[in-house]
Amino acid sequence: MSYNDWYYTACPKCRQTVLQTGSNLVCVDDGNLDKAVCMYRIPVKISDKTGTITGTIFDRAANQLLQQTCEEALTKQNLTQQLQSMENKEAKFQIQVQPDLKNRSIRCTINNANYLHTETTYHTSTSTPPITTPQPVTPPPKGQNINYLSLNMS
């Protein structure tokens, strides 16, 4: 990946790519802009036991994985190292798959992602005595008197 392949300049309103004509910033949807924002667009290969796909991690998912905005990443000096910190880590992805009619292929975009934690989680609980089933009551033999108690509330 080249230096500029992992982000793009976007319209702060609609998040679409901004075109620069001279010193003017122009959004196709929102017209002339005073300023633009930088957004992640990281090309990746994602593998699991079933295969490998090529996709793009967009801004929200990249923020989740890198724990910093694209603007913050651009101010740091070790950009390549930061991006490579994602390599070979297990993560849970929300992948959107749609046909790319322009390139006659399938486009995979990742808009939500979180690293899987492999640490052991310990849970504490308090124990209660086990629940026991009461013993069945045997009815008295026929002909034997049963005494009933009555309760008067006056």
CATH number at residue 79: 2.40.50.140
Does 55 reside within a domain?
A: yes
Judged against a pLDDT cut of 50, whether residue 95 lies above it is answered with yes
Q: What's the whole-model pTM score?
A: 0.63
pLDDT confidence bin for 134, thresholds 50/70/90? low
Judged against a pLDDT cut of 60, whether residue 12 lies above it is answered with yes
Indicate the SS3 state at residue 152.
coil
What pLDDT is stored for residue 122 in this prediction? 39
Distances (CA, A) of 77 to 41, 58, 73: 19, 21, 8
Does 11 reside within a domain?
A: no
C-alpha 43/C-alpha 109 separation (Å) is: 9
* Residue range(s) defining the domain that contains residue 85: 41-115
Does 19 reside within a domain?
A: no
pLDDT confidence bin for 121, thresholds 50/70/90? very low
Does 64 reside within a domain?
A: yes
How many independent structural domains does the chain possess? 1
Contacts of 120 (CB under 8 A, 6+ apart): none
Does 9 reside within a domain?
A: no
Distances (CA, A) of 34 to 13, 18, 22, 69, 74: 12, 11, 13, 20, 20
Judged against a pLDDT cut of 90, whether residue 2 lies above it is answered with no
Does 125 reside within a domain?
A: no
* Token pair of 128 as six digits: 């209660």
Does 123 reside within a domain?
A: no
Does 69 reside within a domain?
A: yes
Judged against a pLDDT cut of 50, whether residue 123 lies above it is answered with no
